[in-house]
Amino acid sequence: MKYFNLFVSGTSDIASEIAKNFNKNNNICICRNKKKAKNLNYSKIIKLNFEKEINFKVFNRIKKVCISNIFFFNGYQEKNKKPFYKKKLRDILLYYTVNVVSSVKILSFLQCNGYLSKSCKIIFFSSRAGSISERGTLKHHKPGGNNLYRSAKAALNSFVKNLAFENNNSNYTIVSYHPGWVKTKMGGNRADLNVEESSRFFIRLLKKLCKKNSGKFYNYDGKLISW
């Protein structure tokens, strides 16, 4: 049987760099921009808008594949710095739709319809900003900032912890992962890591991940982050 790697929101800078570490013929990409994905290391591309209700019929294109690795890179963070009370409800909900709900719904569909290998590794790219217990404890922490983004990542982490528990009798490995502060459009040029370095750290950890690691939150250097 042939096994595939599924990259959800696979056109992000980090995702496309990580994809280079695998055989193109085994890589599937789900993204909003098929044109952008065509130039990347993917053999199959599925167009999906993470901001709207998911049309699962698009998965008919990969109906008979078996997925051994799933990487969720979904991320949304607006630049608008309006006070919270001025934000429209639809803009607030967009944080949770893209950063949390879309990923969990896709995983649920794939699992319920038999797409996953018995020992599938499922990695949700989260953020250390989503750690509730760490908030205010690190030197770079300051009051203010994007609390919507933090709370969305905290919600994602909660899903990951619960999904790992619910699948404890399976051989799945389900984890949250913080790729570090990376020099991307979102991270900016002052970030600590470039995309290539972040990718190398991730591949190094991925090779070590197994069932006993399920339900944990990892930093890019392999150290655990408290929830």
Q: What is the pLDDT of residues 42-72, one digit of tens each?
A: 999 999 999 999 999 999 999 889 999 999 9
DSSP 59: G
Kindly state the greatest CA–CA separation across the chain.
Answer: 53
| The pLDDT of residue 83 | 87
Among 227, 203, 207, smallest CA distance to 216 is for 227
**CATH code at 3-218:** 3.40.50.720
* Residue positions counted in the chain: 227
52: which 2 tokens? 């709207």
Strands (E), 78-172: 116-125
Residue bearing tokens 């799933």: 70
Beta-sheet pairing, 27-31 with 44-47: parallel
pLDDT digits (tens, 9 = 90+) for 195-214: 899 999 999 999 999 999 99
Among 89, 110, 104, 109, smallest CA distance to 163 is for 104
| The pLDDT of residue 189 | 62
Residue pair 116/67 in contact (Cβ under 8 Å)? The answer is: yes
Residue 106 has pLDDT above 60, yes or no: yes
